[in-house]
Chain A
Amino acid sequence: MRNVYVLGTGMIKFGRYPEKTVPELGAEAALIALKDAGITIKDVEMFASGNLYQSNAMVGQRILQQIGQTGIPVINVANACATGSTAFREAYLSVASGMYDIAMAVGVEQMGKAGLLGGGGGGSDPAYSPEGKLGSGLMPAVFGQAGIEHMRKYGTRMEHFAKISVKSHKHATRNPFSQYQNEVSLEDVMNARMVAYPNTLYMCCPTGDGAAAAILVSEDKLKKFAAGRKRPKIAASVLTSDPWTERDLTLPDVSTLTRRAAKQAYEKAGIGPEDIALTELHDCFATAELVHYENLYLCKEGEAAKFIDEGGGVHPDLGGKCPVNVSGGLLSKGHPLGATGVANICEVVWHLTQDERAKARQVPNAKAGLAHVIGLGSACTIHILTV
């Protein structure tokens, strides 16, 4: 496999764009990434498009119908919340394999004000829907239970989850691309409306719209187009699914597949968690972020609460260490499902290249960063980028 680099990135501010279509949102991000890369759509040889809610509607081709129908191969990818990062990985593989030299990945989603996700099943007669009658499959409850499992094992308290939300909201105030950019206090989070214990409103990510894009190139094309600009290497691109574990079919196990992916990614990149300057991880809920501190080996098993109490996850500018989700994370930046996986790679790239777009929140001396996504069902991607 060949080395692959991220030549350009593009992202629109996450939010709500009821006046626009999914292909329009994707096209906007794609054009920003192409411009950032210093190429045009005519240079792109392969395109992987990530979108979940219109996954049967040829979103990738419709994006090209907006920005340039060059006839290149297009793959439309759906992989739950890991949709965008899986599209990115398909673009990576197409270049790493030697098949193509320049590939584009776009992640895009339009959710509007879609409410609670999950909780399907039951067939055509709603009387047989198990939701609320045989427990809950709604995401806040599923991830609430993942947090409670940590409480059960290690005595973690609700305050620890709440502190994560406080931290991520504070981070988001310095990210103009974030859907929400407001600070919240510990009291605000603890006293907010309960959605599914222990996740209060501010411990749940919002729904919304957004798009992000990346241009991936071989070393030859990097030399041709980067013109001396610093561009990160994709040091690891890993995708796992949920292996059989004891309760996975009843309570989705988001930890085992993340740990497997993390081990593979660190090994492939030839670095360890201590070398990672910043992590963008899948904080769909505050409870998820806490368990992923351990799953990504940012702290020891059972010590996530201690990690938080000691300033772990907080931007160094704010007195913390081992910064996590300096973008504001899904909790503040937003979680337009298909866009998320590409957007968190954009964030890592911007810090590694001292990009203007992350200037206000630049992590110092960033040489390596990690982007993690979980799609429930389950799919886990981890990308490690280095400069």
Chain B
Amino acid sequence: MAEQAQATAETGPRPIVPFLKLGAEPHLVGTKCSCGAVFLDTKRIACSKCGSTGPFETVRLSTRGKVYVFSVVHQSFPGIKTPYITAIVDLPEGVSVRTNLVDLDPLAVEKDPKQLFDMPVEMTTQVVAKDRQGNDVVAFAFRPIKH
């Protein structure tokens, strides 16, 4: 949360996690080890795949990926609208991300789960909350790519 604390000196929307970068072209960043492992972290102490202490490379992640698996959440915390689709999306850089899937009917997906496997999706962003300082908090989500 250190990055968020620093960011509060500025004005404007805040990313919900440090590895989401906002701006004209919102995108995710990862930290890549020379062994090939990519982590959804903005910094690493060491690589949990090979044990290397670096140096690590910061990589800009693709905004497009494919759905690996999902679930439809019907019961959640207060304030979270249900049902919604939670999914694991594989990105081409070799890292997976947990995300909401939007622009799909959750109940239709339950009737035909196969339609989601390997579905091409793209990242979008949305304001999901206001923090204690009154700033918009922005989360990413993925949605089907419209042809």
Contact = CB atoms under 8 A, between A and B. Distances in A.
Contact of B74 (A127, A137, A196, A244): A196
Nearest to A152: B117
Interface range for B: 35 or more
Contacts of A149: 68-69
A134 B113 contact: no
A133 B137 CA distance: 10
A353 interface: no
B131 A148 contact: no
Interface in A102-138: 116, 119, 123-138
A127 B76 contact: no
A338 interface: no
Given A128-B4, A244-B49, A141 B80 contact: no
A310 B124 CA distance: 46
Given A148-B71, A196-B75, A247-B68, A123 B4 contact: yes
B55 to A, nearest CB: 19
Given A127-B137, A151-B113, A244-B49, A251 B88 contact: yes
B75 A195 contact: yes
Contact of A249 (B39, B70, B129): B39
A42 interface: no
A141 B69 contact: no
A8 interface: no
B17 interface: yes
A247 B100 contact: no
A140 interface: yes
A196 B72 contact: yes
Contacts of B77: 116, 119, 129, 131-132
A116 B16 contact: no
A144 interface: yes
B139 A133 contact: yes
B70 A194 contact: no
Given A128-B137, A133-B16, A135-B86, A197 B72 contact: yes
Given A132-B80, A249-B39, 12 more contacts: A125-B132, A129-B77, A133-B100, A134-B140, A136-B98, A140-B75, A144-B72, A148-B113, A149-B69, A196-B75, A196-B86, A246-B96
Interface of B: 1, 4, 16-17, 37, 39-40, 48-49, 68-77, 79-81, 83-84, 86-88, 90, 95-100, 109-110, 113-114, 117, 128-132, 137, 139-140
What are the 9 closest A-B residue pairs judged by CB atoms, nearest first?
A132-B80, A144-B71, A135-B86, A127-B129, A135-B98, A197-B72, A136-B86, A123-B1, A127-B131
7 contacts: A132-B77, A132-B80, A134-B140, A196-B74, A197-B113, A244-B48, A251-B69
Interface of A: 116, 119, 123-138, 140-142, 144-145, 148-149, 151-152, 193-199, 244, 246-247, 249-251
